[in-house]
Chain A
Amino acid sequence: MADAGGNGGHLPAGDAGSPAGTGGGPAPGTGGGGLADGVPVLAVQDLVAGYGEAVALGGVSISAAQGTVTAVLGANGAGKTTLLRAISGLIKVRGGSVLLDGVDVTRRKPEDMARAGVAHVPEGQGVITELTVEENLRLGALIRAGRAVRAAALEQAYQQFPVLASRRRKPAATLSGGERQMLVIARALLAAPRVLLLDEPSLGLAPIVISQVMALVAGLRDSTGLTILLVEQNARAALAIADRGVVLNLGKVAVTAQAADLAADTGLLNHYLGL
């Protein structure tokens, strides 16, 4: 039943729905409650997950409030990508829970998480290169009801990302790295998510493109009230736009702090991230 709520299509996208009033949450019957202060949009509690015998996440708790960017930092193998995969259902959760607007969504399938409003942009190969730019974008809107809604969302995406508009008929394989990152983010937004999980959006991009991507992420939070979990290797770039920062170390949360405090603590960053 909660699936259907997420598919309702009245999710905040571009219209800057105010957190208190309109709410974009589940229908009243689903009991998820609105967006009252104190109920984080995304709450991860004691999450345990791994691959085969190895435990990559050993009990991680993170909560993200409406309209914030939470930077998830850590060295290689700290469990950052595993955390996102466990939230979105790509890998099995062995313990703990994931709450979306207070509703338990632990162990849902990836397709159901997407329909519940969690958009996961995976690291690296998120673009389907065999399809055109426009086909990739249309995929993002497939779960939204109504042809007109989908068409309008597509037009909005083109306005927001003019670079994609000029390439709409081209195979996605012809895009540059930065353009591909724009494409996968735009595609995720077309689903009108409540929560955006971004895995290493700066990977392999030139410094100037990285700052464009980070500015885009900050802009999304400010204009749409989207809740964003930003996994990054590039801690400085991520903390510059994030509200809060979480440092993972060997599958556990080592530090949680305001992003600005974390960015100022060079000793700590050096210790965990080798910066």
Chain B
Amino acid sequence: MQEFLEFTLGGISFGMIYAAIGLSLVLIWRGTRILNYAQGGMAMFTTYIALIVINHTGNYWAGFAVALAAGLVLGAVCELAVRPAEGKPPMNAVIVTIGLLILLEGLAGIIYGGQYRSFPAAFSVTGLRIGSTALGVSRNDVFVAAAVLAAALALAAMFRYTQVGLRLRATAFGPRVARLLGIRIGRVLTLGWALAGLIGALAGVLVSPSTFLYPDSMDSIFVLGFTAAVIGGLDSPLGAVVGGLTLGVALNYAGGYLGSALVPVFGMAALVLILMVRPSGLLGSASSRQV
């Protein structure tokens, strides 16, 4: 029972990271029908920027804020790079985003070197306990979950209640109608990518204390975040969060009860299974799609 509690809470913390990556993928997918393979690389790059700021200023939160801002900018810049491939056969965008990923990882290697670097956590990473019962999560894990949850709720509120959110949704669901109503959808798509860059940057900063930071440190996280998004249906923000939590908890059970070496295998198995059984995801719309 004690183990079960530990695995569950720990899984939620990791699941929130997958949810954040999944959310960033959903933001871009909804607007452009492009799967951004560079999302992990973008998050890695902004985390390096955060590390440099933290090392220079000695202030974690300065690095945190700069990483998020850098994520916004990098997202917008990447959209401009991908724009020529929008509306073309899907494979064009796949190639461009994979190219971006290679570029970012290569640049990181040149600028920062390939060695593993440790990245500080915002809060203590020693396990919390109630009385003598270990909970399996630290203060930092709670912060991770809360930060992603807050970001997801803020996004949801923006989508639902603001004019910018209305533009984003109209562009995602009816780009042609949106243009006929005078919405400059190019700018809206840039904004969507910028927001995705921000959420990805958040995920990078939050996950790096437990993975170390190196040029391809986000690759496996990207795969799991992608799986989370697919579980949720790829075009549902709520689905990405639910998918991330489901995946995080399931993988933590698998790792905890069966051995941690099996976690990557189970991650891929979950992806294949969901694509075979329910390709539209748990909360996605049923329309067919090409990835």
Contact = CB atoms under 8 A, between A and B. Distances in A.
A122 B163 CA distance: 23
Contact of B174 (A111, A128, A138): A128
A90 B182 CA distance: 12
B180 A120 contact: yes
25 contacts: A88-B180, A90-B180, A109-B179, A110-B176, A111-B179, A111-B185, A114-B179, A114-B180, A114-B182, A115-B182, A122-B180, A128-B169, A128-B177, A130-B173, A131-B173, A135-B170, A138-B163, A138-B166, A139-B166, A139-B178, A139-B183, A142-B181, A143-B181, A187-B181, A191-B182
A198 to B, nearest CB: 12
Contacts of B169: 128, 130-131, 135
A111 B173 contact: no
A138 B185 CA distance: 16
Nearest to B170: A139
A18 to B, nearest CB: 27
Interface of B: 163, 166-167, 169-170, 173-174, 176-185
B180 A142 contact: no
Contacts of B185: 111
Contacts of A128: 169-170, 173-174, 177
A142 B176 contact: no
Interface in A109-148: 109-111, 114-115, 119-120, 122, 125-126, 128-131, 135, 138-140, 142-143
Given A122-B176, A128-B173, A143 B182 contact: yes
A111 B182 contact: yes
B167 A142 contact: yes
Interface residues of A, number: 24
Interface string A84-105: 0000101000000000000000
A22 to B, nearest CB: 23
A128 B167 CA distance: 12
B170 A111 contact: no
Closest 6 CB pairs of A and B: A114-B182, A143-B182, A110-B179, A128-B174, A130-B173, A115-B182
A125 B180 CA distance: 13
Contact of B177 (A109, A115, A122, A135): A122
Given A111-B184, A131-B173, A140-B181, 14 more contacts: A90-B176, A110-B176, A110-B179, A110-B180, A114-B179, A120-B180, A122-B180, A126-B177, A131-B170, A142-B163, A142-B181, A143-B183, A191-B181, A191-B182
Contacts of A129: 173
Contacts of B170: 128, 131, 135, 139
Nearest to B179: A110
Interface string A163-188: 00000000000000000000000010
B181 A139 contact: yes
Residue of B169, B180, B183 with most chain A CB atoms under a 10 A cut-off: B180
A174 to B, nearest CB: 16
B221 to A, nearest CB: 30
Contacts of B180: 88, 90, 110-111, 114, 119-120, 122
A62 B124 CA distance: 73
A109 B166 CA distance: 21
Contacts of B177: 122, 125-126, 128, 139
A90 B173 CA distance: 17
B28 to A, nearest CB: 18
A226 to B, nearest CB: 17
A168 to B, nearest CB: 14
B107 to A, nearest CB: 35
A56 B60 CA distance: 62
A135 B182 contact: no
A135 B181 contact: no
A129 B166 CA distance: 13
Nearest to A88: B180
A120 B178 CA distance: 11
Residue of B178, B181, B184 with most chain A CB atoms under a 10 A cut-off: B181
A109 B182 CA distance: 9
A93 to B, nearest CB: 16
Contacts of A140: 181
